Structure 1
Amino acid sequence: MDRKRGRQDALPIAPPASGSTPQRRVPVLLPYPFAGPFDYRVPAGLEVAPGDLVLVPLNRREEVGVVWDGPADGTVGDNRLRPVSALIDGPPMRADLRRLIDWIASYTLAPPGDVLAMALRVNALRPDPVPVGWCLAAPLPETRLTEPRRRVLDALAGGGMAGAELCRVAGVSPGVLRAMAEAGLLLPCAVPRPVPFERPAPDHPGPQLSPGQEAAATALREAVRARGFSVTLLDGVTGSGKTEVYLEAVADCLRIGRQALVLLPEIALSAQWLDRFTRRFGVAPAIWHSDLTAKLRRTTWRAVAAGEAPVVVGARSALFLPFPDLGLVVVDEEHETAFKQEDGVVYHARDMAVVRARLCEAPAVLVSATPSLETVANVEAGRYRRVHLPSRHGGASLPGIVLVDLRVTPPERGRFLSPPLVEAVRATFARNEQAMLFLNRRGYAPLTLCRACGHRIQCPNCTAWLVEHRARRELQCHHCGHATEIPARCPECGAEHSLAPVGPGVERITEEAAALFPDVRRLVMASDTLPGPHASAEAARAIAAREVDLIIGTQIVAKGWHFPHLTLVGVVDADLGLAGGDLRAAERTVQLLHQVAGRAGRAEAPGRVLLQTFSPEHPVMQALLSGDLAEFMAREAAQRRPGNWPPYGRLAALIVSADTAEAADVTARDLGRAAPTGEGIVVLGPAPAPLSILRGRHRRRLLLKTRRDIAVQPLLRDWLAAVPVRGSVRVDVDVDPVSFL
């Protein structure tokens, strides 16, 4: 923060009055990784309360903090207590948001100040400059008035107006306004600040709901009108119109004057979602994500705090916006692992969204065609309600699934698309329909191998292979970002022209598709090619306008898209997600492949899905073939329940990292010796992490597993307190891990 500006924004402290009451101390939480709030002295003449934003000294600088709840710590003597410098002129942090910060810090074992940093937008506290526009001079000088000038005078009859708006209303150019100012007809003046977001119209004509959709919408409306906490799972087959249903709950939230928050796992999904929202409500909502400019983030944050942003759609960080009256929280695609933040404060936005809804006395709606087993278990336990949409909207049928056994019909040598898939794609183009090829792997090839000596090119900072990106002519690590040019010779043996790409990525599939279907228009949809919402919106527009015949994409294409003319989906490697030791591997693969299959046949023309696999007998493939995902999830639950694996038990990971393997091993060994014991408690490890070196740091993992009725946080606190951590060693805690790398 600019400290000079911070002082300008602060309210001055009045001098102490004679006979004033004794000075007091308050706890102030700062947005840094401290264990808790610090005590500060409140000078005479200054009134502060929990939630107030204050400027306080910290070492040799001044920082913005929040007066926190509860009594002061009292361990620092009065003679060493430093005073609050000033009260910040900004909206106080509401009690529900303060409780959320405390709750997340306690649950994740993160420093409360780190959690506060996600909610305290210091830059947003800076006041925007007062808008300046034009108003009429008084009295008006005698001068000849042209027709454009008369229109300007008529437009200003009701008062001052911003220049851009005045030009639009009067139908003139900025030059006309400048000339009128030079003639003495107009004077610059302050004008009212425009409302940043138009209010969505809940009664704006929306799509016609089917009887099933209307029944589901009614259940959600009743939850909103109850003005109390509840959690509802809205699930249904892909294409059943879940978005349109929960937008009816948003409409009722607007009718009762409360705010609504919709969380999306990928902001790239917002393009088509925003179109749906605008069709339903007549205007766009407020948007919150990391790609916003600093000015727009400040405007949006202030609008949310002032209640001028009735609906916000955003990524997981939108959970920490300062809503004064949050009346509905929707988590779309609730099963997505993108809702788990892995760096900094490690939390799951889906679970914290439920907590925020409870603290705000608001309903939460979790939405998915493939709900997570955690959510399903909560439904079965009676903690969540369930609203189900069993059929596609508008009479569209679910796509037919075909398993292509690559052991029986393999691709040609050096290729990755099998003859049945190639023929199906050609037939789709012959019918003037669109096709999609799906492979959840970026780049050209996941591995580069020397044919002479067998050397595999690895990241120097991580235990991971470098991925070839042929379009950029480089090898890149997808974990730390390290990139280097593709070498002309093997870095190990020096052999020339011996490096060969192994395995396919979407770039390689695109190359193969260009050779097989040279006349079709292709579009690659991956995080590399769609870097932000604008690129995603343009891709969606091009596909809807039939400017694309073949879509080739990674997991970004599996989430929420609606392409009416897409009738064929080919999954290049359906087995890809089943490797490794992740306990959720099968569940995630079913969810991902079911979602990507659901992109096909969403309109009148029937859809078809071909899954290329070496294991057609695998339960995942058989579940997709039968369409009975409920039976598959029941089997998953039956396998996890006896061993107390989530969601029927609790997990927490300790990740030890250090600059050297020896330092990591020593701390990991000490943690292993001090591990908690008892009935229903199991500690696995220490062991090298699957990525045993990441960003140059050596990593070891320990996993705490307990029965569901045992809280892991007290065990973790005592465990960590028993082992000193020194030097470069860091121990990170991940409660409820979803990644085991």
Structure 2
Amino acid sequence: MMHAKKEQHEDKIELVPFTVRLRVLLPLPLADAYDYRAPAGPPVPLGSFVVVPLGRRQAIGVVWDGTPDPSLPESRLRGVEQVLDAPPMTETLRRFVAWVAAYTLSPPGAVLRMAMSAPSALEARAPQAGWRRAPHPPEGARVTPPRRRVLDAVADGVPRAGGEIAEAAGVTPAILRGMADAGLIEPALLPHRRVFATPDPAHPGPALGPEQAAAAATLREAVGRHAFSTTLLTGVTGSGKTEVYFEAVAACLAQGRQALVLLPEIALSSQWLDRFRARFGVAPALWHSELTSRTRRETWRAVAEGEAPVLVGARSALFLPFPDLGLIVVDEEHETAFKQEEGVVYHARDMAVVRARLSSATCVLASATPSLESTTNAATGRYATVHLPARHGGAEMPDVALIDLRRTPPERGRFLSPPLVAAVTETLARGEQAMLFLNRRGYAPMTLCRACGHRMRCPNCTAWLVEHRAQRRLQCHHCGHVEAPPEACPECGAAHSTVPIGPGVERVLEEAAALWPEARRLVMASDTIPGPAAAAAAAQSIQRREVDLIIGTQIVAKGWHFPHLTLVGVVDADLGLAGGDLRAAERTVQLLHQVAGRAGREEHRGHVLLQSFAPEHPVMQALVSGDLDAFMAAEADDRRPGHWPPFGRLAALIVSAEDERAADRTARDLGLAAPGGEGIEVLGPAPAPLAILRGRHRRRLLLKTRRDIAVQPLLEAWLAKVSVPGSVRVQVDVDPVGFL
């Protein structure tokens, strides 16, 4: 990825030079700001949020940098209608918005929209009314025991909310209204209260081992420099990376600056939050898609006013209005969940490094299985490195063994081999917990007719419908289409002829119920763990040993700590290796190593069994040996000669249209106009692996260049040569991580 230039600065309010014109950027897919007439009165600071007319409606925008267009006649200017009472957008965030737009070839207004994700937070806080003790109550007013309790609750004269007073005094709201009528209490505006408690950097946390303490000291020193740096924090699963980067958070708090922690699955953060509270005494601010509109408004405003010292969130939290960001941590930095594939297409890990640079902040990228991009940056000296080689507290890494399904296959119609069944049986007999992992939701990934061979396909996508037997539905996991299982084959009409092909977690659950009927089972998949509350409940059940056997998809790989889990069985270790994805082997190693890391995290050593039809594959051998460094080095050697990332640059153009011929014509025109030259190669056009998605036909072209060639100018010149019809969409994906 490209990097912004390093600059030391402090955010400040900048005043627009006296002029009647302001540039206002609107949160719409617009390429530039519009000019407006400034309101009467004092100059409006850059970054101010303003209400402006747009056509026949009003819109909220931001007073943007740059020089207004002097050629625009005064008569065509429309006036700014209102300057909102909200902290102006800082220079750092405005520069970040512009940088992301330029890097991803997105309209600046579309990026700005991500930074204005809680429009209601821009409105001034409405004053809230409460009650306080009347300073001069009338003589002779009747004071009953309930009224006496109320007067005691407001004895200090500080205004309090009616509900708070009623709860403290054990009375109903009617009692308060009667006391107000009697002149014993009076209405009063409530003082502003901070929404989030301040984490205490000196709060005693868990004891760190010598290696953790040394790593924490390195990160604290980096934060203390008050300058940009990036550190790759690696370590085996269970080595205590979270506790180590918490010390960097503490150092940031001690400086009075804000810290941001990005997690790939914020909905699954319950154990992480428990660890944060144990270290800092309070919970951090949260930012994710499931927050209520009120919480989003309060959180956005608290961040902008510096009243949210630590925020943990999903990738979109990167665009929140931190006035003084001192630390960004990207946990599980290898996760593809940090890549946004819709709208503005960006990778939060890479943009976190940019935002840290613009903020003169420290960036920490943490992972037990770091991406090849980050390990290469570390090897070249662009990133510093800190490594934790052993599990915390003396726990040992699990033993990993392969089950060759060619030699010991499951029984007919089953998916668990005899060695895996025996290992689970023994584990459960010892009173320990076991996990079966299969990265497929539902009951079966495909349904076909045994009479004619017809496969049930999504009507909107080139994807098979996945059976979810418990809910009696067939579902497309790409567009969300749902339909009931047919009574007869829609192709040949044969009744009750459809059969499931292949396993999903529901089918593994069915097999497990037959094999271990007494075991208490829990399925952990995005269908069954839809949000934070469900994730917390599941984790608590496992920790309380109310579950014997966990059956899960990839969400079980993300940072869970289950002390009594000693066996992990991977049902289909070959699954991620299918297809021609550039990163298939790397992703498979990362996922399976993370899953394996759930086993044996405390006193009992863990065991991991991988079912595979290709035990000789380098991925399987790397997992058994535990030598991931050698695997990644070999992976780098394979990519380097062809200038594949991270040793070259990639950018994809995805052409889509409802009309197939329109998509083909535009893809053909782009192919004919493709750039060329030394170190530049264009692959395609070709149908995308998902050739139809949500009813749109899709074609792909892939631009590949040497590392020293910037792809953005090539893309801009390329797209400028081709006239794209309004019915056709061309999406640009710089640094793609997936190729569907």
TM-score with structure 1 setting the length: 0.96
CA distance in 1, matches of 2:538, 2:384: 36
**Counterpart of 1:616?**
615
The answer to whether structure 1 residue 88 and structure 2 residue 84 are counterparts is: yes
- Could you give the per-residue CA deviations for residues 264-295 of structure 1, whole angstroms, max 9, x where no partner exists? 00012311110000011111000001100000
**Counterpart of 1:14?**
none
Contact 1:258–1:326 (8 Å) recurs in 2: yes
- Could you give the per-residue CA deviations for residues 441-493 of structure 1, whole angstroms, max 9, x where no partner exists? 00110100100000001011110000001111111111111110000110000
Task: State the 1:44 CA deviation.
Answer: 4.1
Is the partner of 1:157 in helix, strand or coil? Answer: coil
The answer to whether structure 1 residue 238 and structure 2 residue 237 are counterparts is: yes
Q: Which amino acid aligns with 1:232?
A: T
Unpaired segments of 5 or more residues in structure 1? 1-20
- Could you give the per-residue CA deviations for residues 295-346 of structure 1, whole angstroms, max 9, x where no partner exists? 0100011111111110000001111111111110000000000000000000
**Counterpart of 1:54?**
50
**Counterpart of 1:656?**
655
Q: Which amino acid aligns with 1:132?
A: A
**Counterpart of 1:114?**
110
Contact 2:37–2:78 (8 Å) recurs in 1: yes
Task: State the 1:153 CA deviation.
Answer: 2.1
Q: Which amino acid aligns with 2:445?
A: P
Contact 2:675–2:682 (8 Å) recurs in 1: yes
CA distance in 1, matches of 2:267, 2:411: 35
**Counterpart of 1:17?**
none
Distance 1:557 1:22, change over 3 A: closer
Distance 1:202 1:169, change over 3 A: farther
Q: Which amino acid aligns with 2:395?
A: A
Task: State the 1:252 CA deviation.
Answer: 1.0
**Counterpart of 2:176?**
177
Unpaired segments of 5 or more residues in structure 2? 1-16
Contact 1:437–1:571 (8 Å) recurs in 2: yes
Task: State the 1:147 CA deviation.
Answer: 4.9
**Counterpart of 2:686?**
687
Is the partner of 1:701 in helix, strand or coil? Answer: strand
- Percent identity, aligned pairs only, is 71
Task: State the 1:566 CA deviation.
Answer: 0.5
Contact 1:39–1:74 (8 Å) recurs in 2: no
Task: State the 1:615 CA deviation.
Answer: 0.3
Contact 1:221–1:252 (8 Å) recurs in 2: yes
Q: 1:133 aligns with which of 118, 130, 133?
A: 130
Q: For residues 270-669 of structure 1, what are the structure 2 equivalents within 5 Å?
A: 270-669=269-668
**Counterpart of 1:728?**
727
Contact 1:237–1:392 (8 Å) recurs in 2: yes
Indicate the larger mover: 630-639 or 79-88. Answer: 79-88
Contact 1:239–1:392 (8 Å) recurs in 2: yes
CA distance in 2, matches of 1:686, 1:533: 42
Is the partner of 2:106 in helix, strand or coil? Answer: coil
CA distance in 2, matches of 1:515, 1:593: 26
Contact 1:23–1:43 (8 Å) recurs in 2: no
TM-score with structure 2 setting the length: 0.96
Contact 2:436–2:568 (8 Å) recurs in 1: yes
Is the partner of 1:40 in helix, strand or coil? Answer: strand
CA distance in 1, matches of 2:421, 2:269: 32
**Counterpart of 1:77?**
73
Q: RMSD of aligned C-alpha atoms?
A: 1.4
CA distance in 1, matches of 2:582, 2:688: 15
CA distance in 1, matches of 2:452, 2:105: 48
**Counterpart of 1:124?**
121
**Counterpart of 1:153?**
151
Indicate the larger mover: 96-105 or 117-126. Answer: 117-126
Task: State the 1:73 CA deviation.
Answer: 3.2
**Counterpart of 2:25?**
29
CA distance in 1, matches of 2:629, 2:71: 56
Distance 1:319 1:516, change over 3 A: same
CA distance in 1, matches of 2:195, 2:18: 44
CA distance in 2, matches of 1:116, 1:145: 57
- Could you give the per-residue CA deviations for residues 574-606 of structure 1, whole angstroms, max 9, x where no partner exists? 000001111000000000000000000001111
**Counterpart of 1:11?**
none
- Could you give the per-residue CA deviations for residues 405-456 of structure 1, whole angstroms, max 9, x where no partner exists? 0001100100101111111111111110111110000011010010000000
CA distance in 1, matches of 2:179, 2:551: 57
Contact 1:23–1:44 (8 Å) recurs in 2: no
The answer to whether structure 1 residue 63 and structure 2 residue 30 are counterparts is: no
Task: State the 1:179 CA deviation.
Answer: 4.7
Contact 2:447–2:465 (8 Å) recurs in 1: yes
Contact 2:509–2:523 (8 Å) recurs in 1: yes
Task: State the 1:126 CA deviation.
Answer: 2.2
Is the partner of 2:75 in helix, strand or coil? Answer: helix
CA distance in 1, matches of 2:128, 2:61: 29
Is the partner of 1:671 in helix, strand or coil? Answer: helix
Q: Which amino acid aligns with 1:270?
A: S
Is the partner of 1:382 in helix, strand or coil? Answer: coil
Distance 1:22 1:118, change over 3 A: closer
